[in-house]
């Protein structure tokens, strides 16, 4: 049940509420269909306007929305009740008792449906009022579930106010405060945002502490001692308000000490020192004459220090008492650290009344960086548990309980993961990003625990397991000692607030605070062995202005730097890159120092050392880009999953953009970005403009958000409205075309395949071994022992091996025709195959594990074919003789025309392949996914401007490139590789100086010639598409976007052409022998009344992926498949997209039903959409 965060507003009398409850609790099941009547009467009870149809459709029943689908189609929907800027209400009529599994399933379905409606609101509606902050899920006559999302940016709606108290039972409406909360949801929903109410309290507290700090410093106490002393005071105030310290007669024990000894400062000083020492160790406190909890941690250590408890004047005690009267339960940790840091820092105290960073701004980065991937995992675990619970309902006895335990185990596994992951802020300041992350992790944990309880897991058994989300998981690095200490304080206050709010203070275990060392005070990007003063050429100490002290100019009176305010310059011995602790997610707001200001702010010695250890970061890049680059390296190396940073909006400028571009080329992509957003500097309070970027491994589309409106808020902060765009986000934070909409083309199908997969190293032989087996003597053996190539044979030094290929022969034929070969395999392959789990591979041990007859048919009759390495740093294509058998790490394309080699080798196809393919491995090398890279690629033809002369020129340049590479590699096998050639070619294209090793490759490999041939090829291919306006050498982001946009448009045009029956076959004699021609064939596709989309046409050859092993992975794979499909998929279509052994296909209906219940799938006719 919900209690309001602030005092209740005026409300209807209790008699009307009692009548309402009696009326609806006594309604028969047959009357429950009148959901609108329930809502109308609820509105009358709350004294709010009734829904009414208007042209604006801003407050009405059955509000229409339109769902937009990936294939351009749409479908209608209706919101049960909608109020603009306030809520989406979804009403259900559930007959199951409120404690049954069926009831919870229906509520989950209703919540998902409501969230889907909120996301389907049209852009004009969102521009007018933003997304509604509340979802209301109503079980008519039973209860109301409340969910909120106050950032209004499209994030997940979460239980309000928390997962344990978000349900309002019908009987709860008898309470005036519950009705008042609902009334505010109708009339002033944003007033329920707890961050807004807490912000007011926090500002008042910080102002009082700043006044006290100023007074204590004026008394002669050092600022660092004042900060430590006041930090102990404020935690004591918080502890007494949440009753972790004793309270009596409405007064906390800390405040009582202040009041009792306000006229005896010396005694007060000793009593506070005794209290804090007692809080450190726990037990009986002489100061309070009561037992206190053991608080531990760093905060109360050092009781023997002279500055542990400072002497106060009466006026200072009064200031402390005024601060203690604040409601410390309501302090907002997300801004408390920032304001307290200003209050305790003499240099920044002037900024205390300035703006602070609103919580919503912080959440805009934390949610996509940390919570969205975790909530995706939670959705999979929840779906798996729900499916198992459904299966349990059909069983009895022990079998039922075993299935239920399996369901609970899925949730416990996710809970364990949630309690063991780590998040790092490598510039944590006073901890606001870490705190917001902690709160959202706790919210998600609450949902997990609720679901476990619904499945019969008792709270007692959960408590015995002892796992929960704690501040230990939130790691921080901060160079400022005061801010680092505040970060720990903020995390612990926030954690204890949440714990006490959801479980009460009796559940707090001792020690109350732990010293886990999760916040460390040090530099995050530079480490060194020692530091010493920097001297000039005369041996004098070098100094610089401190960057913050000013004096009035004698003539103008304007503030100018104080020449007397100097700080020493330092030299850093043995500098090195600073290490970061292991963490799955990295998020934060590194310091805003421009490249030009770095030396003045940090000193020459520091900047020189920094640039020396990070040479790959351009000299003109801003300070924040060192954090950005370090995090990108972590993610690219697989040491972190995702990172998100605030930077200045100059991120898009040339030198900063190069850091981002390098990361994107190394295998990352931007999953979320806001190029230009208002922000507040944490120290000065100055308004600045920033960019937000979130990066993850692999390639794919991202969400680009642009600010459409900024409205001044209560305290001067800007309330921001955003518009979303989805597509490939480039380094300049612009979005490219949505290549996920590219459709497989009939013209390209049936030509590309991976090579064979041996499943036995004994098949591979050297030329000497092959000769010993009879090659060159036994007739026909030359067709059975063939040259063999894998990926490294093409990109690096070839092995020169052969392979025994007995495709088409049975064991008896092998033994009688080639007995030596038979014995070789009998001794070297059969023992390994006998351990194989697949019967076919065990029984046919003399054949490859995957013989790939489809590839053999495609290559039959060709003298050569095109090959590319599936996973490689550089995307290159080359001809291989058809006698060579390709390994499964090669993609073989059954075309021998050099024109196609040229089109594939051109910059156009390479860009297409990089954008549509995927990434793999520690190096995140590009993967050529044939179904996305080749089978969607629209080749040039007469309709684009291809002429016979251009076709011949492209073919000639392709032959020349292929011959040139093979010639130089053959001439220098020990010095050159294909990878080395293209490393140097990339360096030439980028215009960077070559290293000595690269110069040698350039010389031996004649790379300038290779570059010229490629440039000529690119120009010819661009002309064949009619796109000569795109310069062959232009590789900037805008040109790439335009190129991909045009290719995507051509793909769509070709697909439409094919749907109408015209297919431009690449090799008609193989693909469509009935009407073989080199011209576009007017082929009417049979059986579909002359209309067939390219997506349906390609479904005859689906790219089957292995059926996942675990149930959550199966849920994820199914949801991803439906989401990626531009059209609805039937169960039979879905089954063709996976492969695996066992009865997995029988589980598809249950999985689809479960995803539908959770709003992740939707029926459409006989098919399913994501």
Please give the full DSSP string across 746-813, using - where no structure is assigned. Answer: GGGTTSEEE-BB-S-GGGEE-HHHHHHTTTTTSTTGGGTEEEEE-HHHHHS-----EEE--TT--HHH
CA distances from 1006 to 798, 964, 984, 1009, 1013 (A): 20, 9, 10, 6, 11
Q: Is the pLDDT of residue 532 over 50?
A: yes
d(CA 1014, CA 1029): 18
pLDDT of residue 197: 60
Q: Is the pLDDT of residue 1098 over 50?
A: no
d(CA 1106, CA 106): 32
d(CA 1005, CA 1011): 11
d(CA 545, CA 550): 10
Q: Which three-class secondary structure state does DSSP give residue 1063?
A: strand
Cβ-based neighbour number of residue 414 at 10 Å: 24
Burial string for 582-597 (b: 16+ CB within 10 Å, else e) reads ebbbbbbbbbbbebee
CATH topology of domain 526-534+569-738: Rossmann fold (3.40.50)
pLDDT tens digits, residue range 1002-1016? 999 999 999 999 999
Phi, psi of 773 (to 5 degrees): -85, -5
pLDDT of residue 522: 94
Contact criterion met (CB below 8 Å) for 166 and 146:
yes
pLDDT of residue 741: 79
Closest CA to 534 of 566, 561, 562, 564: 566
Q: Where are the domains of the chain?
A: 14-192, 196-331, 359-521, 526-534+569-738, 1039-1092, 1105-1169
d(CA 802, CA 788): 5
Q: Is the pLDDT of residue 364 over 80?
A: yes
Q: Which three-class secondary structure state does DSSP give residue 452?
A: helix
Per the DSSP assignment, residues forming a β-bridge with 38 are: none
- Looking at the chain, the whole-number percentage of residues with pLDDT higher than 70 is 87
Task: Give the relative orientation of helices 654-665 and 624-636 as an angle to the nearest 10 degrees.
Answer: 10
Q: Name the least confident of 420-429, 459-468, 545-554, 760-769.
A: 459-468
pLDDT tens digits, residue range 213-263? 888 888 888 888 888 888 888 889 888 988 899 988 888 899 999 999 999
pLDDT interval class at 717 (50, 70, 90): low
Closest CA to 364 of 714, 136, 703: 703
d(CA 672, CA 409): 33
pLDDT of residue 579: 97
Phi, psi of 1023 (to 5 degrees): -65, -35
CA distances from 873 to 641, 665, 876, 969 (A): 21, 10, 9, 18
- pLDDT: which is higher, 838 or 629: 629
Q: Name the least confident of 6-15, 69-78, 332-341.
A: 6-15
Mean predicted confidence (pLDDT) in 205-210? 75
Q: Beta strand 585-588 with 642-648: parallel, antiparallel or unpaired?
A: parallel
The single residue listed with the structure tokens 């608080």 is 295
13 class by beta-carbon count within 10 Å (0-12 exposed, 13-18 middle, 19+ buried) = exposed
Phi, psi of 689 (to 5 degrees): -110, 135
Closest CA to 743 of 930, 932, 908: 932
Secondary structure string (H, E, C) spanning 174-210: HCHHHHHHHHHHHHCHHHHCHHHHHHHHHHHHHHHHH
pLDDT of residue 701: 87
DSSP 536-548: -TTSPBPEEE-SS
965 class by beta-carbon count within 10 Å (0-12 exposed, 13-18 middle, 19+ buried) = buried
pLDDT of residue 300: 85
Secondary structure string (H, E, C) spanning 875-936: CCCEEEECCCEEECCEEEECCCCHHHHHHHHCHHHHHHHHHHCEEECCCCEEECCHHHHCCC
pLDDT of residue 566: 86
pLDDT of residue 884: 95
According to the per-residue pLDDT averaged within each range, which of 153-167, 761-775, 1020-1034 is highest? 761-775
d(CA 389, CA 805): 50
Burial string for 698-736 (b: 16+ CB within 10 Å, else e) reads ebbbbbbbbbeeeeebeeebbbbbbeebebbbbbbbbbb
pLDDT of residue 640: 97
pLDDT tens digits, residue range 469-512? 999 999 999 988 888 888 888 899 889 888 887 777 666 888 88
pLDDT of residue 781: 93
Q: Name the least confident of 409-418, 797-806, 1139-1148.
A: 1139-1148
Determine the CATH number of domain 1105-1169: 1.10.10
- pLDDT: which is higher, 360 or 910: 910
1165: part of which helix (H) or strand (E)? none
Domains 526-534+569-738 and 1105-1169 share a fold: no
pLDDT interval class at 1033 (50, 70, 90): low
Mean predicted confidence (pLDDT) in 384-402? 89
pLDDT of residue 104: 63
d(CA 1167, CA 198): 48
d(CA 758, CA 803): 9
Closest CA to 765 of 820, 833, 807, 808: 820
d(CA 562, CA 545): 8
pLDDT tens digits, residue range 862-875? 999 999 999 999 99
Closest CA to 720 of 709, 712, 729, 731: 709
At 309, list the tokens. 């408890």
Taking only Cα atoms into account, the Rg of the chain, rounded to an integer number of angstroms, comes to 35
DSSP 87-155: EEEEEE---S-TTSHHHHHHHHHHHHHHHHHHHHS-HHHHHHH-S-SEEEEEETTTEEEEEE-TT-SS-
Omega prior to 161 cis, within 30 of 0: yes
pLDDT of residue 350: 46
CA distances from 830 to 763, 769, 823, 834, 836 (A): 11, 18, 10, 6, 10
Q: Is the pLDDT of residue 1099 over 50?
A: no
d(CA 386, CA 411): 10
Mean pLDDT taken over the chain? 85
pLDDT of residue 1075: 64
- Note the pTM of the prediction, 2 decimals: 0.68
The single residue listed with the structure tokens 């190029």 is 675
pLDDT of residue 352: 40
Contact criterion met (CB below 8 Å) for 282 and 324:
no
DSSP 633-682: HHHHTTS-SEEEEEEEGGGGSHHHHHHHHHHHHTTEEEEEEEEEEEEE-T
End-to-end Cα spacing for the chain: 33
Q: Name the least confident of 20-24, 109-113, 151-155, 911-915.
A: 151-155
pLDDT of residue 94: 61
Q: Is the pLDDT of residue 462 over 60?
A: no
pLDDT of residue 587: 98
Q: Name the least confident of 189-193, 223-227, 768-772, 935-939.
A: 223-227
Phi, psi of 881 (to 5 degrees): -65, 140
pLDDT of residue 355: 44
566: part of which helix (H) or strand (E)? strand 566-568
Mean predicted confidence (pLDDT) in 579-590? 96
d(CA 847, CA 29): 67
d(CA 150, CA 195): 9
d(CA 192, CA 35): 26
d(CA 784, CA 804): 6
Q: Is the pLDDT of residue 335 over 80?
A: no
The single residue listed with the structure tokens 């309604």 is 27
Cβ-based neighbour number of residue 991 at 10 Å: 6
pLDDT tens digits, residue range 557-572? 767 678 888 888 899 9
Cβ-based neighbour number of residue 372 at 10 Å: 18
d(CA 224, CA 308): 11
- pLDDT: which is higher, 996 or 70: 996
Contact criterion met (CB below 8 Å) for 1064 and 1054:
yes
Q: Is the pLDDT of residue 1078 over 70?
A: no
d(CA 254, CA 232): 11
Contact criterion met (CB below 8 Å) for 216 and 229:
yes
Q: Is the pLDDT of residue 161 over 90?
A: no
């Amino acid at each position: 049940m919900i209690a309001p965060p602030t005092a209740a507003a005026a409300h209807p009398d209790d008699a009307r509420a009692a009548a309402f409850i009696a009326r609806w609790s006594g309604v028969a099941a047959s009357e429950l269909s009148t959901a609108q009547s329930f809502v109308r009467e609820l509105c009358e009870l709350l004294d709010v306007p009734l829904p009414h149809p208007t042209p604006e459709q801003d407050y009405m029943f059955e509000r229409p929305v339109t769902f937009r689908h990936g294939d351009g189609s749409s479908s209608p929907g209706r919101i049960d009740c909608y109020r603009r800027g306030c809520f989406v209400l979804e009403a259900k009529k559930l007959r199951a008792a409120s404690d049954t599994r069926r009831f919870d399933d229906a509520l989950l379905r209703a919540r998902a449906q409501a969230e889907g409606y909120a996301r389907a609101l049209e852009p004009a509606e969102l521009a007018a009022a933003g997304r509604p902050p509340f979802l209301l899920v109503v079980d008519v006559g039973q209860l109301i579930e409340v969910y909120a999302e106050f950032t209004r940016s499209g994030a997940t709606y979460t239980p309000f106010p928390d997962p344990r108290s978000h349900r309002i039972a019908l009987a709860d409406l008898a309470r005036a405060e519950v009705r008042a909360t609902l009334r505010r949801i109708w009339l002033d929903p944003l007033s329920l945002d707890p961050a807004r109410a807490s912000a007011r309290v926090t500002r008042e507290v910080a102002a009082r502490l700043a006044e006290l700090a100023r007074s204590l410093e004026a008394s002669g106490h050092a600022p660092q001692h004042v900060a430590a002393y006041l930090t102990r005071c404020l935690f004591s105030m918080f502890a007494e308000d949440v009753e972790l310290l004793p309270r009596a007669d409405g007064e906390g024990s800390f405040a009582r000490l202040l009041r009792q000894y306000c006229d005896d400062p010396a005694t007060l000083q000793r009593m506070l020192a005794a209290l804090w020492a007692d809080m450190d160790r726990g037990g009986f406190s002489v100061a309070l004459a009561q037992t206190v909890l053991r608080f531990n941690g760093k905060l109360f250590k050092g009781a023997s220090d002279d500055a542990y408890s400072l002497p106060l004047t009466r006026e200072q005690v009064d200031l402390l008492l005024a601060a203690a009267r604040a409601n410390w339960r309501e302090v907002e940790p997300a801004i408390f650290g920032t304001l307290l840091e200003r209050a305790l820092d003499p240099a920044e105290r002037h900024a205390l009344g300035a703006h602070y960073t609103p919580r919503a701004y912080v959440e805009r980065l934390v949610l996509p960086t940390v919570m969205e991937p975790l909530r995706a995992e939670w959705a999979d675990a929840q779906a798996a548990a729900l499916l198992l619970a459904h299966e349990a309902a059909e069983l009895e006895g022990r079998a039922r309980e075993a299935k239920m335990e399996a369901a609970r185990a899925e949730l416990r596994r996710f809970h364990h993961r949630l309690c063991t992951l780590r998040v790092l802020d490598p510039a944590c300041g006073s901890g606001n990003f870490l705190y917001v992350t902690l709160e959202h992790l706790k919210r998600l944990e609450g949902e997990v625990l609720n679901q476990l309880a619904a499945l019969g897991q008792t709270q007692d058994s959960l408590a015995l397991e002892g796992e929960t989300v704690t501040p230990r998981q939130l790691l921080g690095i901060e160079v400022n000692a005061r801010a680092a200490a505040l970060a720990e304080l903020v995390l612990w206050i926030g954690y204890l607030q949440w714990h006490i709010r959801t479980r009460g203070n009796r559940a707090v275990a001792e020690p109350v605070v732990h010293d886990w060392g999760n916040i460390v005070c040090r530099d995050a990007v530079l480490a060194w062995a020692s530091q010493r003063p920097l001297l000039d050429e005369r041996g004098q100490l070098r100094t610089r202005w401190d960057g913050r002290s000013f004096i009035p100019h004698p003539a103008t009176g304007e503030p100018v730097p104080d020449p007397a305010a100097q700080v020493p310059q330092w030299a850093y011995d043995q500098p090195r890159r600073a290490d970061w602790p292991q963490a799955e997610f990295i998020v934060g707001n590194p310091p805003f120092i421009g490249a030009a200001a770095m030396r003045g702010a940090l000193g020459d010695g520091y900047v020189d050392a920094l640039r020396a250890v990070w040479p790959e970061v351009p000299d003109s890049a801003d300070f924040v880009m060192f954090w950005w680059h370090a995090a990108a390296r972590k993610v690219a190396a697989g040491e972190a999953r995702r990172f998100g940073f605030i930077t200045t909006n100059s991120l898009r400028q040339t030198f900063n953009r190069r850091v981002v571009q390098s990361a994107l080329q190394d295998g990352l992509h931007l999953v979320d970005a806001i190029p230009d957003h208002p922000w507040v500097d944490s120290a000065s309070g100055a308004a600045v403009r920033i960019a937000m970027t979130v990066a993850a491994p692999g390639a794919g589309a991202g969400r680009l958000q642009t600010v459409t409106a900024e409205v001044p808020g209560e305290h001067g902060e800007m309330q921001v409205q955003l518009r979303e765009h989805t597509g490939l986000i480039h380094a300049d934070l612009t979005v490219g075309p949505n290549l996920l909409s590219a459709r497989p083309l009939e013209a390209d199908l049936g030509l590309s395949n991976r090579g064979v997969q041996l499943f036995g190293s004994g098949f591979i032989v050297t030329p000497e071994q092959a000769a010993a087996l009879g090659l060159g003597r036994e007739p026909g053996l030359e067709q059975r022992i063939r040259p063999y190539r894998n990926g490294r044979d093409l990109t690096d030094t070839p092995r020169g091996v052969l392979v025994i290929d007995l495709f088409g022969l049975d064991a008896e034929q092998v033994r009688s025709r080639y007995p030596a070969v038979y014995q070789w395999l009998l001794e070297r392959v059969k023992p390994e195959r006998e351990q194989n789990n697949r019967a076919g591979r065990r029984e046919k041990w003399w054949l490859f594990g995957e013989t790939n007859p489809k590839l053999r048919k495609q290559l039959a009759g060709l003298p050569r074919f095109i090959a590319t390495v599936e996973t490689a740093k550089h995307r290159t294509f080359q001809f291989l003789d058809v006698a060579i058998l390709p390994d499964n790490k090669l993609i073989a394309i059954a075309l021998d025309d050099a024109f196609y080699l040229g089109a594939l080798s051109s910059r156009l196809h390479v860009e297409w392949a990089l954008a549509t393919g995927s990434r793999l491995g520690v190096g995140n090398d590009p993967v050529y996914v044939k179904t996305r890279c080749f089978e969607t690629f629209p080749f040039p033809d007469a309709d684009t401007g291809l002429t016979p002369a251009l076709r011949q020129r492209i073919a000639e340049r392709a032959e020349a490139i292929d011959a040139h590479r093979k010639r130089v590699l053959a001439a220098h096998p020990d010095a050159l590789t294909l990878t080395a050639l293209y490393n140097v070619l990339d360096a030439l294209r980028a215009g960077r100086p070559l290293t000595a090793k690269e110069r040698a490759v350039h010389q031996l490999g004649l790379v300038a010639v290779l570059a010229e041939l490629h440039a000529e090829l690119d120009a010819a291919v661009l002309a064949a598409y009619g796109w000569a306006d795109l310069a062959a050498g232009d590789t900037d982001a805008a040109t790439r976007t335009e190129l991909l946009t045009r290719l995507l448009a051509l793909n769509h045009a070709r697909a439409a052409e094919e749907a109408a029956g015209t297919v431009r076959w690449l090799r008609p004699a193989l693909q469509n022998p009935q009407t073989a021609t080199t011209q576009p064939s007017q082929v009417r596709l049979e059986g579909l009344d002359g209309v067939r989309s390219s997506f349906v046409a390609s479904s005859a050859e689906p790219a089957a992926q292995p059926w996942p092993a675990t149930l959550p992975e199966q849920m994820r794979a199914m949801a991803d498949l439906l989401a990626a499909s531009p059209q609805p998929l039937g169960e039979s279509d879905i089954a063709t997209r996976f492969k695996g052994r066992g009865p997995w296909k029988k589980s598809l209906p249950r999985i689809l039903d479960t995803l539908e219940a959770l709003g992740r799938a939707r029926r459409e006719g006989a098919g399913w959409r994501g």
